[in-house]
């Protein structure tokens, strides 16, 4: 059985000369290709955003491991209680960032 593509019912989306999109070729920029359908454009944007988010979380996780190792090294040198309190602030900050990136 031969399956033929179905015509797209969405209006033509051309880049407008001054702003946004238009379906009128006379208002569109000359020689610009037709824009992808709006729903597909949203899907592509969402995919790109998720890819960026995944990369940010990966980079932060790697950096967090190094920061925690450095904090452990510092703690092994017996700093004062005040400095140790500051180290705990750093621990909580790392945890808060991890939580925010997971949301």
Q: What is the DSSP letter of 28?
A: B
CA distance linking residue 30 with residue 98, whole number of Å? 48
User: What average pLDDT score do residues 83-87 get?
Assistant: 98
Pick the closest to residue 35 from 17, 18, 23, 50 (CA basis).
23
CA distance linking residue 54 with residue 97, whole number of Å? 14
The more confidently predicted of residues 11 and 28 is: 28
Domain range annotation of the chain: 14-102
Quote the pTM value.
0.61
The more confidently predicted of residues 92 and 37 is: 92
pLDDT of residue 35: 79
Tens of pLDDT, residue by residue over 21-76, are: 888 888 888 877 887 888 888 888 998 999 999 999 999 999 999 999 999 999 99
């Amino acid at each position: 059985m031969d399956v033929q593509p179905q015509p797209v019912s969405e209006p033509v989306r051309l880049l407008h000369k001054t702003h946004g999109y238009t379906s009128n070729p006379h208002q569109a920029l000359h020689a610009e290709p037709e824009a992808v359908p709006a729903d597909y454009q949203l899907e592509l944007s969402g995919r790109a955003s998720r890819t960026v988010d995944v990369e940010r979380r990966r980079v932060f996780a790697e950096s967090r491991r190094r920061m925690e190792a450095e904090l452990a090294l510092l703690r092994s040198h017996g700093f004062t209680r005040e400095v140790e309190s500051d180290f705990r602030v750093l621990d909580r900050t790392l945890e808060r960032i991890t939580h925010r990136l997971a949301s």
